[in-house]
Amino acid sequence: MASPRLKREQSFDFEEASAQEAMGSASASYSPPGGVFGISPPESSPRDGRKRRKDRPSWVKRTFTPHFDGHLWRKYGQKNIKDSSFPRLYYRCSYREDRQCLASKLVQQENDDDPPLYKVTYTYEHTCNTTPVPTPDVVAEQPAPAAGDAYLLRFGSSASGGIHGDAHQQIERDQRQQQQHSARRPFMMLSFDSSSHLHEQQHEFPPDQLPSAASPSFTAEALPPPVPPPTTTTNDGGDLFSTWDSFRYGLDDDHAHLGNHVYLPDDCSGGDDNY
C-alpha cells in the first residue's frame, strides 16, 4: 500500500533566489517588487513543493495583530520551535486551491508582553486576487489616552468590505482576544493593518518605539475624519469598533506612514518602504 504521503499536493518550482540575493541575506526583510513576484504557475516535479526555504521569497514583519492583514488564512500546522518558548503557527491562503494562491505565513510569538508581539513571516505574494479587505478597524479603548490608561487603537482588516463570512468570524474572534488582552491591564497598542495589495506605506513600530498617543503628530484626534463607515459597530461597553472603507492614514515628513505595518529588521529604511 502506498503511503498517502506519496500524494504530494501542488509542487512549484520557483527560482526566487535572485530576488533574495538582491535583498541581501535571506534573513532580511524582503520587499516584493511591486508586490508581485515573478511567480510562475504551478508546475514541475512534485518534490519541489518543498522548495529550499532559502529560495522562497519571504519577508518579515512584527505586529501585535498577526491575523489582521487583510487576507483570509487557513491554519495548517503548528510546531514547537527549538529555542523558542512559543509555538510557530503555519497559515496558508484560503484560496490556495481555488486560485493556486501560494501565499503563506508563519506566525511566531516573540515575547510574553501584553499584548504579545508576533513575528510574521510571509512567503510568496498573494495571487488569488481577492480583495484584501480594504476596511480597516479602529479599536479604541479608553476615550482619552491619559497617562497610565489603556489605549488601544487598531487599524485592522474588517469583513464588511467584501470579505467572506468566515473571515469575519475569524476577525471577530481575534477582536475578542484583543479585547480580553486589553481589558487585563492598561497598555497602549497601535497596530495598523489594512489592505496589503498595494504594498505601500507600511510601517510598524516596535513596542518601545510606538509613537506616543500624546505625540502631537500621532494622536487619535489626529486621525483624519473617516469616510462614513458602511458599517460601524459600537460596543455599548465603551469599546468602539469602527470600520470604513479605503482608509489610509498617512503621516508626512519624518513620521511614518501608517496604513500597514512593516518591520524593518535591518537597514531597509531607504527608498521604498519595506514590506
Partner DNA sequence: TTGATTTGACCAGA
Partner DNA sequence: TCTGGTCAAATCAA
Strand ranges in 132-208 using DSSP code E only, listed in sequence order = 137-140, 151-155, 188-192
Backbone angles phi, psi at 259, to 5 degrees: -160, -40
In the bound complex, what is the minimum distance in angstroms from residue 93's beta carbon to DNA?
11
Binding flag, residue 78, DNA (CB under 7 A): yes
Q: How many CB atoms lie within 10 A of CB 28?
A: 18
Per the rule left: phi > 0, alpha: psi between -120 and 50, beta: everything else, 52 is beta
Q: How far apart are CA 248 and CA 124, in angstroms?
A: 24
Check residue 255 for interaction with DNA (CB under 7 A): no
**Which one among 1, 5, 252, 267 touches DNA, defined by CB under 7 A?**
5
Closest distance of CB 16 from DNA, Å: 12
47 binds DNA (CB under 7 A): yes
Residue 43 or 272: which CB sits closer to DNA? Answer: 43
How many CA within 13 A on the CB side of residue 46? 5
∠ CA 191-175-64, rounded to 5°: 30
Rule CB under 7 A: choose which of 19, 39, 60, 106 binds DNA.
106
- Tell me if 92 contacts DNA by CB under 7 A: yes
The CB-of-140 to DNA minimum distance in angstroms stands at: 26
Residue ranges in contact with DNA by CB under 7 A: 3-10, 47-55, 74-79, 81-84, 88, 90, 92, 94, 104, 106, 123, 166, 169-170
